Every structure is written in structure tokens, then in C-alpha cells.
């Protein structure tokens, strides 16, 4: 399947799936995506009082988890260029809990962030890196806005090199796409499988992070290798 890769195409795709995005993720992963997102936030290095950034925040799942981590003395910014997903994020109340950090929602392109250099202590990016048009530029922007010693965790799909690869391909094509089709979103979800073919492997992501001047980069395969988390440190 040829990927029509323009920013406007990606933006429109996510604006179209916005009404069912969260529900589809919960149904199709049996809620497991929430565990994977919590793992990414736990690996992000976020601490109380930090200024945190969630890139490609969508409806704000990781943004709210980051807000819980940095707490009332911290701040969190969620960035996305899908106005429809951001609207859902802004409407959702954080889960009842003690003083999560205030969240600011920003509609912007993560390839051209509207923030100064070295502003954030920590960052997350959940299922965004595979969808940006320029992965090296996205990593360089992330490095630019992180403080020296800042940390980040990037969660996304991972193409396993084990028996789960066949299962993952089957599940995406034979379960995810037919369910999406019931909402008239067959093409939008059919994009998933081929997008994995082009996505850099864990070791390739580590190499790209080093080229973006991150001092430390480690990739952890999770969920049987069907997902992965790239953990970064921006260096002194």
C-alpha cells in the first residue's frame, strides 16, 4: 500500500479518527496500551517539579500521566497538530487525584516547536515518531528543547523479529482493519501495518538518536516485541 505521506494527510487522518480513537485503542489492545503508556512515562525520568513535554499528545493519555508524575509543583505541555484530538484532550478531566500539574495544550508541529532551547526537564512521545514525516528532524527538535541532562521516552510500535511478527501482521490486517471498517475508517487503520515496515528498528532508532546528539539512547522492546520504548538523555 503506497503511503501518501504529507503532513496535511497525516493531520486529516487523525482528525478523521478522533471521534473513535480512544475507544478503538482500548478495544483493540484490550486496554493494554494504557500499561505501555505508563511504562513510557515511568522511563521518561519525570520527577516532581519538572517541566514536562508530551509530543504528539493526541487526546492526552501520556500528558495526563506525565502531569501526575511532575505533580502540582510541575508543569506539562501537550503538543499536537490535530485540532480534533486536542479538543478531546482539553475536554477530558484528569482522573481524580491529588494535584496533578497544570496542563497547557498547544496546537503545533513537533518538527517546528514553538519553544526556546533547553526549556523542558523531560519529555514523552507516544505513537508519534512513526507518524512524523522527518524522524531525524523530530529527534533534533526534541534534543533542542530539552535541558542539558534532560530525559525522554518515545513509545511506538515495533516490528518483532519473532513469532509475534506474524501475529501482529495478522491482528492488524484481520482484526484491527475490519473493526475500523465498521466506523468507515478502513483506509485510516490499514495505514498501520505498512507504516511499521518503514519504521526504524530499535537499533536504528538508537543510531538516529545519537546522530541527534543525545548522549545516551537505549531501546527496550516490550509486549513481546510488538511495541518498543526509546529512552534518551540529552547530555550535559
Ligand X SMILES: C[S@@+](CC[C@H](N)C(=O)[O-])C[C@H]1O[C@@H](n2cnc3c(N)ncnc32)[C@H](O)[C@@H]1O
DSSP collapsed to 3 states, 2-52 = CCCCCHHHHHHHHHHHHHHHHHHHHHHCCCHHHHHHHHHHHCCCCCCCCEE
**Is 62 an interacting residue with respect to ligand X (CB under 6 A)?**
yes
Residue 105, strand partner residues? 78
57 burial (CB, 10 Å; 0-12 / 13-18 / 19+) is buried
What is the signed CA dihedral for 223, 139, 12, 19, rounded to 10 degrees? Answer: 40
**Is 189 an interacting residue with respect to ligand LLAZDA3J (CB under 6 A)?**
yes
Among 63, 75, 84, 168, binds ligand LLAZDA3J (CB under 6 A): 168
What lies within 8 Å, CB to CB, of 235 at 6+ separation is: 148, 149, 213, 214, 215, 216
Handedness of CA 26, 93, 98, 145 (dihedral sign): positive
**Is 182 an interacting residue with respect to ligand LLAZDA3J (CB under 6 A)?**
no
Q: Closest approach of Cβ 176 to ligand LLAZDA3J, in Å? A: 5
- What does 226 interact with, of ligand X, ligand LLAZDA3J, none (CB < 5 to 8 A by kind)? ligand LLAZDA3J
User: Per-residue x/- marks for ligand LLAZDA3J, 123-142, CB under 6 A?
Assistant: ----x--xx-----------
* CA-closest candidate to residue 219, choices 130, 156, 126: 156
The residues in 77-96 that bind ligand X, with binding defined as CB under 6 A, are 80-82, 85
Residue among 61 and 233 whose Cβ is closer to ligand X: 61
Q: Which residues bind ligand X (CB under 6 A)?
A: 7, 10, 14, 37, 56-58, 61-62, 80-82, 85, 109-111, 126-128, 131-132
Q: Which residues bind ligand LLAZDA3J (CB under 6 A)?
A: 17, 24-25, 28-30, 32-33, 127, 130-131, 168, 171-172, 176, 188-189, 191-192, 226
Amino acid at each position: 500500500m503506497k503511503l501518501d505521506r504529507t503532513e496535511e494527510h497525516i493531520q486529516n487522518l487523525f482528525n478523521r479518527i478522533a471521534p473513535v480513537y480512544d475507544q478503538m485503542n482500548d478495544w483493540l489492545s484490550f486496554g493494554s496500551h494504557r500499561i505501555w503508556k505508563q511504562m513510557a512515562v515511568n522511563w521518561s525520568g519525570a520527577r516532581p517539579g519538572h517541566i514536562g513535554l508530551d509530543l504528539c499528545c493526541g487526546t492526552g493519555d501520556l500528558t495526563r500521566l506525565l502531569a501526575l508524575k511532575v505533580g502540582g509543583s510541575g508543569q506539562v505541555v501537550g503538543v499536537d497538530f490535530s485540532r480534533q484530538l486536542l479538543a478531546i484532550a482539553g475536554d477530558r478531566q484528569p482522573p481524580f487525584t491529588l494535584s496533578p500539574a497544570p496542563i497547557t495544550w498547544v496546537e503545533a508541529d513537533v518538527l517546528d516547536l514553538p519553544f526556546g532551547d533547553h526549556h523542558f526537564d523531560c519529555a514523552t512521545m507516544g505513537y508519534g515518531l512513526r507518524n512524523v514525516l522527518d524522524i531525524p528532524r523530530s529527534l533534533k527538535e526534541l534534543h533542542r528543547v530539552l535541558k542539558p541532562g534532560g530525559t525522554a521516552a518515545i513509545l511506538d510500535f515495533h516490528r518483532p523479529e519473532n513469532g509475534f511478527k506474524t501475529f501482529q501482521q495478522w491482528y492488524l490486517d484481520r482484526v484491527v482493519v475490519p473493526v475500523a471498517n465498521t466506523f468507515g475508517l478502513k483506509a485510516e487503520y490499514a495505514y498501520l501495518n505498512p507504516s511499521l515496515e518503514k519504521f526504524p528498528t530499535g537499533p536504528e532508532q538508537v543510531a538516529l538518536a545519537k546522530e541527534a546528539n543525545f548522549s545516551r539512547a537505549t531501546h527496550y522492546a516490550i509486549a513481546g516485541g510488538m511495541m518498543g520504548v526509546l529512552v534518551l538523555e540529552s547530555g550535559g
